[in-house]
Amino acid sequence: MTLEFLGTLRGLAYLAAGMMFILSLRGLSTQESARRGNLLGILGMTLAVVITAALFFFNVTGGQGALSFDGPESSGTTTGLLAAALIGGGAIGAMLAARVAMTSMPELVAVLHSFVGAAAVLVGIATYLQPSGVEGARTIHLVEIYVGILVGAVTFSGSIIAFTKLRGIVGSRPLMLPGRHLLNLVLLLASAVLGGLFLQAPGAEGLPYLLAMTALALLLGVHLVMAIGGGDMPVVVSLLNSYSGWAAAAAGFMLSNDLLIVTGALVGSSGAILSIIMCRAMNRSIWNVVFGGFGAAPPKKVAAGEAAPAGKVNETSVKEVAAQLLTAKNVIIVPGYGMAVAQAQHAVKEISSLLIEKGVNVRYAIHPVAGRLPGHMNVLLAEANVSYEIVKEMEEINEDFAHTDMVLVIGANDIVNPSALDDPGSPIYGMPVLEVWKAARVVMLKRSMNAGYAGIDNPLAYRDNTFMLFGDARKSVTNLLTELRA
């Protein structure tokens, strides 16, 4: 095969893969087409990996000419290493994907983002140490390397901290250091100064400046995510997704790989748009999430309210809840992270199906930041084969709570907190929430009266029309299903 033919084949394959990625994002925009979108993304990435590996085996790289090896033995070794990396990485990825539970999906996503950041850093350093034959474009190339490593390092360390917070290794409350904004500014200015020195260094003598900036960027990533509270973790995961995309795009510039640039730009822009949409759903700006330190220290008004809750807690039983569900005409189910932890989505689906068979109007209400991952609840319900037609977003269903006989809140806390609307002293004041308290009766399924992941007490539990069903969510809904069938 000629070099020209392989270059043309590479361009066509990359074009096809890029189109598949675009169609994949389009498909992922709705629940009905999400499976098709996911499949297109898989096909596009498979095509990209196969064509890149094939070109490498033919000693062609990036359309820039043949690879040079010290000899056949070195070429065989390199090819063997690439094959081992592809097979080994694919096997590890498949094993993790098969074994990971939906409750651990946010942590897995955070770890995968860290891999992208680490790859961008390593590719940048390797590219800098490799002699460049384009002397006139050296400055531009060095800027690409520097920015790519900066973004990659922030993504790597930030994702690791996000993983530890989601895993519970590090507390969910934000770390609010004195002068934290000044610290971030100093780190950025120091990185800029090191960048100037790096660009002026001849040959590979700028490596110390590059490594120093990498250390500062790692510290910046740690500090940025440590200063974000647990209640904002869904936005953080989405934001890190955007960072990883821009890191991949930067790596594409370093490697002169058009597909990597396009893919990174798609991931980066879509992650940024999703983050902004989620922030709007919380009535906050992206800057407030990143730098605001939400959940650091509840105001005194909230703390005082915790000591004297407005009313008593009304407990209920499985038998009572079952009887009330059977006499209700309109029922709304609000899933939260507690349902994911208990793996109760299948039993909940059976309950809704049984009630629908008996003529009850059952729907699910989804808050944009329910769970710890964008779309977490939607994925759980899809896994349980809940019909998309009865899964409603907050904007679609909020007005219907006033005409609802009963609401089941399963493992959700912060997204149904009335303090967001009626308590100016609450940290979540102004955040749109599911107004479940307007229903005739609310049943909250919780393990205990502990606050949610954001660490905020929920006055909903003390309202007269709210009843608490304590216990493990899976056990409670299973017993409830058994009672309904009886």
Please say whether the beta carbons of 128 and 210 come within 8 A. yes
What's the token pair of residue 146?
A: 């520097």
The question of whether 414 is a catalytic residue gets the answer yes
What's the token pair of residue 15?
A: 């074009």
Please say whether the beta carbons of 10 and 63 come within 8 A. yes
What's the token pair of residue 125?
A: 């350093």
Q: What angle do CA 65, 69, 72 make, to 5 degrees?
A: 120
> What is the CB-side half-sphere exposure of residue 339 using CA atoms within 13 A?
31
CA distance 406 to 230: 29
Which residues partner with 391 through β-bridges?
364
Which residues partner with 315 through β-bridges?
468
Say whether 105 sits in a helix, a strand or coil. Answer: helix
Please say whether the beta carbons of 369 and 434 come within 8 A. no
How far are the Cα atoms of 139, 327, 369, 443, 485 from residue 358, in angstroms, in the given order? Answer: 71, 10, 32, 20, 11
Count of other CB atoms within 10 angstroms of residue 133: 8
Please say whether the beta carbons of 235 and 369 come within 8 A. yes
Please say whether the beta carbons of 251 and 200 come within 8 A. no
Helix (H) or strand (E) holding 329: none
Q: Provide the H-helix boundaries in 394-436.
A: 394-397, 419-422
CA distance 443 to 325: 11
Please say whether the beta carbons of 419 and 427 come within 8 A. no
Which residues partner with 407 through β-bridges?
332, 442
Count of other CB atoms within 10 angstroms of residue 247: 32
Sheet containing 330-335, strands listed edge to edge, beginning at the edge strand earlier in sequence: 391-393, 361-366, 330-335, 406-410, 442-446, 466-470
End-to-end CA distance of the chain: 71
Task: Please pick, among 232, 414, 422, 472, the residue that the annotation labels catalytic.
Answer: 414
Say whether 454 sits in a helix, a strand or coil. Answer: coil
Q: Provide the H-helix boundaries in 335-393.
A: 337-342, 345-357, 376-383
Read off the amino acid at residue 69.
F
Catalytic residues: 414
